Amino acid sequence: MRHRLVLALVSLPLVCLLAACGATAGPKASAQHAKAKPKRCRIGSHPVGSSRFAVAAVVLKRATAYRRPGRKPFASFGHLNQNDYPTVFRVVSAIRRSDCTPTWYRVQLPIKPNGVEGYVRARAVRLAPVRTRIVVQVSKRRLTLFRRGRPVLRTTVAVGSKATPTPTGSYYVNQRLVPTDPSGPYGPGAIGISAFSNVLTGWTQGGPIAIHGTNEPWSIGHPVSNGCIRVRNPVLRRLFADTPAGTPVVVLR
């Protein structure tokens, strides 16, 4: 994106990891709890997420990504990205100890090549639950928003042209930005996803892909963009409100 964007202030909810949060146990429950055996887990990697929910990992101060846990690092991330938005990953799986404590998370990263994954230490991030998912069908020019596995919005979109196609694959929402000019080419907002153009490699920040509004409503339904996914401005406002960072985005042909 070449136009200057400013940060949209959006809070990311924390995951409650404590059993019976806020509940007060009576004497009988306390006695039963005292006799309960410690929870045990199979040591190793465990998948995280499903079609109904996903988990985002928000970098606390700094997170280093490894090809394998504890091996040579290949990328490093601060708490904020280059647009001053909190750095977010999508959690793919967790490596747990026998007491079920996570030590590493395998995450999808917001860098090139598209879809790259790595391992980050569990203590370097905090988790946030995500109940939404976006599916884009490029050939049908259609976007569907799911909440808890159920479709709640279907809309027609503009997609990349033949020369600058929208890259297909599995991504996630990694930032949400507000343009300085809401009447400009991005409309009232841009939902950045962890994908990059495979063609416009010389663009600022490597040619990131976004779902954004438009000042050319006639373009909706046509393959005319530089790779981004355009929606009508009222739809963008709803997506902006309903899709937190970490929302999976699947782009199909």
Q: Which residues are catalytic?
A: 212, 228
3-class DSSP assignment, residue 161:
coil
Q: Which of 57, 197, 70, 183 has its CA nearest to residue 130?
A: 57
E-assigned strands of 13-149?
44-47, 54-59, 62-66, 73-78, 88-96, 102-108, 117-121, 125-130, 132-137, 142-147
User: Tokens in use for 22?
Assistant: 């806020």
The label of the residue with tokens 């699947």 reads 250
3-class DSSP assignment, residue 235:
helix
Q: Which of 21, 4, 2, 35 has its CA nearest to residue 179?
A: 4
- Amino acid making up residue 90: R
Residue 122, phi then psi, degrees to nearest 5: -60, -35
Count of CB atoms situated within 10 Å of the CB of 27 = 7
**DSSP assigned state of 43:** S
| Cβ–Cβ < 8 Å for 133, 247 | yes
Largest CA distance in the chain: 69
